[in-house]
Amino acid sequence: MEIAPGAVNPAIRNEEALRFLLTRRSRPPKTLAAPAPGRAEILEILTAAARVPDHGKLEPWRFVVLEGGALARLAGEAAAFAQARGLAEDVAAKGVGQFAQSPLCIAVIAVPRPTEKVPTVEQELSVGAACMQLVNAALAAGWGAGWLTGWVAHERDFAAPAFGLAPGEWVAGLVHIGTETAAPPERPRPDLEAIVSWRDA
């Protein structure tokens, strides 16, 4: 069948994928419970997460999968860190809860590569794409998933030993994955008329 220039090829259009993207919704990590995906399923999800735009094929990201004992250990370390720093109780609880309540957490680590060909901002955008792709892959695989950060990601003195960060590396996202226990209500979406402009000349 000949396709006219500019026309949509119905054999290529993926209705199921479009429906997913138009209705996808992250799940609040606090609503996720065990069981979490097993290692074979995690590897499939990570394979999809790593399939993102990556100018120069630098792979400016890596993943740290946190399960069972690692999550319990980090919850304890986060509690001790928060106490030592005198963090407010509610702030401390949010950080500790990310590990204490999570059935599975995958930390997405930004790994800047020194190169003159690819600006740092392009590498950072690739890292963000990996976070988003990770969430979407987990959702598409039938799991609940949500992307958080918070002080446990941004406080260097905690994050560096917690996630084994090398100099220059930083935590872009903590993606929590598990079994959905409650579907969140739909929330307002962006008004396209306010954020889209058209130019034809």
Res. 10: pLDDT tops 80: no
Residue owning tokens 């998933």 = 145
The alpha-carbon radius of gyration of the chain (Å, integer) is 19
What local confidence, expressed as pLDDT, does residue 185 receive?
86
What local confidence, expressed as pLDDT, does residue 11 receive?
76
Q: Is 26 marked as a binding-site residue?
A: yes
Res. 23: pLDDT tops 90: yes
What local confidence, expressed as pLDDT, does residue 9 receive?
74
Q: Is 55 marked as a binding-site residue?
A: yes
Specify whether the CB–CB gap between 87 and 80 falls below 8 A.
Answer: no
Reported as a single tens digit per residue, the pLDDT across 115-150 is: 999 999 999 999 999 999 999 999 999 999 999 999
The string of DSSP letters for 101-165 reads S-S-EEEEEE-----SSS-HHHHHHHHHHHHHHHHHHHHHTT-EEEEE-SHHHH-HHHHHHHHTP
Question: 12 versus 11: which is more confidently predicted?
Answer: 12
Reported as a single tens digit per residue, the pLDDT across 37-72 is: 999 999 999 999 999 999 999 999 999 999 999 999
Q: How many CB atoms lie within 10 A of CB 134?
A: 25
Average pLDDT, the chain: 95
Please report, to the nearest 10 degrees, the dihedral formed by the alpha carbons of residues 72, 69, 108, 187 taken in order.
-50
Q: Is 73 marked as a binding-site residue?
A: no
Mean pLDDT, residues 87-113 taken together:
97
Q: Is 192 marked as a binding-site residue?
A: no
Q: Is 25 marked as a binding-site residue?
A: yes
**Which domains are seen in the chain, by residue range?**
28-65+104-178 (3.40.109.10)
Q: How confident is the model at residue 3 (pLDDT cuts 50, 70, 90)?
A: low
CB-side neighbour CA atoms (13 Å) of 154: 5
Q: What angle do CA 60, 64, 159 make, to 5 degrees?
A: 90
Convert 145-167 to b/e letters by CB count within 10 Å (16 or more is b). Answer: bbbbeebbbebeebbeebbebee
Question: 168 versus 5: which is more confidently predicted?
Answer: 168
Q: What angle do CA 77, 83, 86 make, to 5 degrees?
A: 140
